[in-house]
Amino acid sequence: KKKVILDVDTGSDDAIAIMLAVLSGKLDVVGITVTQGNKPLPNCVENTLRVLDLMGVGDKIPVCPGCPAPMVRTLTPGRYANNPENQVQAHNKKGEPIDLHPAYLPAPPAHSKPQNMHACTFLVETIKQSKEKITIIPVGPATNVGMAFRMDPTIADNVEEVVFMGGSVDKGNITPVGEANFVHDPEAVKIIIDSGVKCRIIGLNATHSAEFYREDADAYLAIGNAAGKLAHDLMYNRIEVGEALGWTQDGGDALHDALAVASVIDPTVITDLRQEPCDMDINGGAGDGQLIVDHRGGQDPNANTFVAYKADKKKFFQMIYDALKNQK
Ligand code: BDR
Ligand code: CA
């Protein structure tokens, strides 16, 4: 089994990514490191533990809280309040307010506890001591991973690859050209890419090519276990928020973070992957946090970055289905 460390900011699509990683039976999840992003750090840690508890693996997988703010930038006060995903301003058809994250998880507090070790220390120590190379999957702002590469750049030698959820080759989601995870810590992403480590970048082009609809969520609910119900409820909630805020026209929604995990389990879920040199805009202007993909000259066999453009929805749906079914 491939050894992986998930780096999350849980988050509804993070929650589905965690379930896929843990329940698929195809990955050895050696630990989960947590950063801020969808919510402040303590909430993301709590959400992560509650998902693991619900899967029955709460005390089996170490969860390490990490950086509470980006590597270089100051967290703008009101950042979470200004994130539309975090405002309870959307309402479902019954007129009830929609809160994107906590409603469907078991009531807090989580039974399991986080480790008393910082995420960055965990990353450095675990990667250095591992006999096999480790794949890191950052599906939030990449602060913890960028910081670990700064703390000890030699860890790159024992990293199989970094599989990011982040970026876009054209349209962004929180700025015209910027995707949320990359915009929230562009320096971290740049440090990782510039280290020369192999990077696979699963961005918005790929995630939006494989959107999910209510009927997909219904199929997960029909599995009849807690994992299927949680996936269903989170997906419905995401779709309802998307509709209320005008992010979706046809009731479809991307499960961003889960696609990054799926691509580690089975790389063929990405049907268009191009080896193209990448850089990150950290200049503070309108393109700040934009993934800069060099399309000139076609693919480059020397590039350390592989960019995903398209995914196979049927395969992706089935992978999640098969994983959810495994929960007893
Ligand atoms: C990414 O931003 C976060 O809100 C999601 O969890 C996902 O990782 C999508 O841009
Ligand atoms: Ca995320």
| ipTM of this predicted structure | 0.99
Using a 6 Å CB cutoff, which residues line ligand 1?
11, 13-14, 37-38, 139-140, 165, 173, 179-181, 256-257
State the SS3 of the chain: CEEEEEEECCCHHHHHHHHHHHHCCCEEEEEEEECCCCCCHHHHHHHHHHHHHHHCCCCCCCEEECCCCCCCCCCCCCHHHHCHHHCCCEECCCCCEECCCHHHCCCCCCCCCCCCCCHHHHHHHHHHHCCCCEEEEECCCCHHHHHHHHHCHHHHHHEEEEEEECCCCCCCCCCCCCCHHHHHCHHHHHHHHHCCCCEEEECHHHHHCCCECHHHHHHHHCCCCHHHHHHHHHHHHHHHHHHHCCCCCCCCECCHHHHHHHHHHCHHHEEEEEECCEEECCCCCCCCCCEEECCCCCCCCCCCEEEEEEECHHHHHHHHHHHHHCCC
Instruction: State residue 251's pLDDT score.
Output: 94
Sequence-separated contacts (24+) of 241-249 with Cβ below 8 Å: 241/85, 241/90, 241/98, 241/100, 244/89, 244/90, 244/91, 244/98, 245/84, 245/89, 245/90, 248/211
Return the axis-axis angle of helices 12-23 and 256-265, rounded to nearest 10°: 20
Instruction: State residue 184's pLDDT score.
Output: 93
Gap between the Cα atoms of 21 and 25, Å rounded = 8
Whole-prediction pTM value? 0.94
The greatest distance separating any two alpha carbons of the chain, rounded to the nearest whole angstrom, comes to 54
Ligand 2 centroid to Cα of residue 257, in Å, is 6
Q: How far apart are the first and last CA of the chain?
A: 21
Ligand 1 centroid to Cα of residue 224, in Å, is 27
Contacts of residue 318, defined as CB under 8 A and 6 or more positions apart, other chains included, come to none
Q: Which of 139, 143, 208, 259 is the pocket-test mutation for ligand 1 (most atoms within 8 Å of CB)?
A: 139
Q: Which ligand 1 atom is at minimum distance from the Cα of 204?
A: 10
Ligand 2 centroid to Cα of residue 304, in Å, is 23
- How does pLDDT run across 168-221, given as a tens digit for each residue? 999 999 899 999 999 999 999 999 999 999 999 999 999 999 999 999 999 999
CB count, 10 Å around CB of 54? 22
Closest ligand to C-alpha of residue 48 is: 2
CB count, 10 Å around CB of 290? 26
Residue labelled with tokens 């402040």: 40
Residue pair 127/154 in contact (Cβ under 8 Å)? The answer is no
Ligand 2 centroid to Cα of residue 140, in Å, is 4
- Residuewise pLDDT in 10s, the chain (328 residues): 999 999 999 888 999 999 999 999 999 999 999 999 888 888 889 889 989 998 999 999 999 999 999 999 887 655 565 554 554 334 445 555 444 444 445 566 778 999 999 999 999 999 999 999 999 999 999 999 999 999 999 999 999 999 999 999 999 998 999 999 999 999 999 999 999 999 999 999 999 999 999 999 999 999 999 999 989 988 988 888 888 878 899 999 999 999 999 999 999 999 999 999 999 999 999 999 999 999 998 999 999 999 999 999 999 999 999 999 999 8
- In 3D, which of 257, 254, 299, 261 has the Cα closest to residue 278? 299
Contacts of residue 293, defined as CB under 8 A and 6 or more positions apart, other chains included, come to 169, 276, 277, 278, 307
- In 3D, which of 148, 181, 144, 179 has the Cα closest to residue 68? 144
Instruction: State residue 123's pLDDT score.
Output: 98
Closest ligand to C-alpha of residue 168 is: 1
Q: Which of 163, 257, 261, 290 is the pocket-test mutation for ligand 1 (most atoms within 8 Å of CB)?
A: 257
**Distance, C-alpha 114 to centroid of its chain:** 19
- In 3D, which of 216, 252, 245, 255 has the Cα closest to residue 92? 245
For residue 301, say if its preceding peptide bond is cis, omega within 30 degrees of 0: no
Ligand 2 centroid to Cα of residue 77, in Å, is 20
